[in-house]
Amino acid sequence: VQLQAFGGGSVQAGGSLRLSCAASGRTSSSVAVGWSRQAPGKEREFVAGIRSGSTTTYADSVKGRFTISRVYAKNTVYLQMNSLKPEDTADYYCAADLSWEAVVGGKASSWGLGTEFTVSS
């Protein structure tokens, strides 16, 4: 499966932004999809994931502020980000795998190119 992320940019603290991850190729409703991010000088970290049946999970740092969702008909997964903070500034990557554990653990087999956004204070 090929993934492409969209929606980066710049936003002020407290604002909102929505990222999109479009999948193509051998997509399946069984595939789990997640978002990870990497801030400058830091390691990549898991942010949010969604699996078949719409089960979701979030990193503690974004819980209550970010919402992951998917539209199967469009093969697209969204990450709605609200109440943004400067520490959310990073390159955001979407990833997919048949294994939920792989997605949550940052070891998914398919990764898209990152989309960057900056939260200014």
49 forms beta bridges with: 34, 57
Which has more confidence, 65 or 1?
65
Which residue's structure tokens are 């999948």? 23
Query: Mean of the pLDDT values across residues 95-117?
Result: 95
Which amino acid makes up residue 87?
Answer: E
What span, in angstroms and rounded, lies between the C-alpha atoms of 3 and 121? 31
- 59-64's contacts with Cβ under 8 Å and 24+ in sequence apart are 61/87, 62/88
Checking if the pLDDT of 114 tops 80, the result is yes
> For a pLDDT cut of 70, what percent of the chain falls above it?
100
Torsion of CA 38, 76, 108, 6, to 10 degrees: -30
The pLDDT tens digits for 10-66 are 999 999 999 999 998 877 778 999 999 999 999 999 999 999 878 999 999 999 999
What is the token pair recorded at 100? Answer: 């939920």
Q: What pLDDT is attached to residue 53?
A: 79
